[in-house]
Amino acid sequence: MDFQIDFKSGVPFYRQIIEQVKYAIARGHLEPGDQLPTVRRLAVDLSVNPNTVVRAYRELEIERVLDTQQGAGTFVSNTRPEIDQLERQRMLDQILTDLLARASSYGLTLDEVLAGLHQRKEEKP
């Protein structure tokens, strides 16, 4: 699992980590029992303060999404996370903002983007 931080999004870094973990679990990219990177490793990889990672992991533990075992590491729990409507909307807004900004930088219109999305939807069962 590759975590990424968008330093320009305005979304707090710890929230970005939380959303990415939940999304990876929901999509099946992380399974119960999978080990997450150590706090230090993830902080170095993302170029963030370790306290940021601690905060994200702690909130995910409170929600019973992660289990931390002293001396062994942090693991995905058996509890499947539920993404509430507000969080889903926030994720969608971020995806759409990124998509439209990138499309605009290539000179694509909104109609072309929508047509491409409709075509892609028809291609995938």
Q: Is the pTM of this model over 0.75?
A: no
Indicate the SS3 state at residue 121. helix
Distance CA(85)–CA(46), nearest Å, equals: 27
User: Which letter, b or e, does each residue of 21-42 get, where b requires 16 or more Cβ atoms within 10 Å of its Cβ?
Assistant: bbebbeeeebeeeeebbebeeb
Contact yes or no for 55/14 (Cβ under 8 A): yes
Over residues 11-25, the pLDDT tens digits come to: 899 999 998 998 898
Closest CA to 36 of 65, 7, 16: 65
Per residue in 80-101, pLDDT tens? 666 678 878 887 888 888 888 8
**% of the chain with per-residue pLDDT over 90:** 55
